[in-house]
Amino acid sequence: MVPFHTVAFAQQKLRSALRRSAAQHQGLHYGFVIHARRRGTRNVLGVITASGESLALTPRLLEGLNGQSLRLFGTAPILLQAGATIGSELERRTAADLSLASVLMHVDGVSDPAAAGHVVEVEATVMADALAQPLVVLTSERPASWPL
């Protein structure tokens, strides 16, 4: 279970990002926060939505994002791909629902002031064990496959 203050803090960050996005008319009406959470004795990635849902991030949830435009903090376009999962051998039979310990994030279009306006692409592994600050991801609508 994720502590209430963690959910409230994530909701606050997310609502703020959605307000900024709406002011810029970007068409980003839905979002979630990726954060580190505990699963037993291990850290995994989780998502918190504006309505306060707190879910473990799974390959199935990531699949629901396919085809949607995702923006990190409402600005940089990103793609997310499943990384390592956490689970027993028996649980691996239903790998789509296992908690993710990491995701591969491809960030497209980060401006580098030192490069005189050139666009920089970044690819990084976001690991639950190393995620110090939550990541805010905005998109145009809630994925149809995500639970209500």
- 54: tokens are 């707190």
Give the pLDDT of residue 25.
Answer: 76
Q: With a cut of 70, which residues of the chain have pLDDT below it?
A: 87-95, 109-120, 148
- 137: tokens are 């991801």
Closest CA to 47 of 123, 144, 115, 147: 147
Give the pLDDT of residue 131.
Answer: 94
- 65: tokens are 């994002």
Helix (H) / strand (E) element for 104: namely strand 102-111
Give the pLDDT of residue 5.
Answer: 85
Indicate the residue type of 21: S
Yes or no: say if 30 and 148 are a contact pair by the CB < 8 Å rule: no
Give the pLDDT of residue 121.
Answer: 79
Give the pLDDT of residue 78.
Answer: 93
**pLDDT tens across 7-48, in order?**
989 999 999 999 998 888 778 999 999 999 988 788 999 999
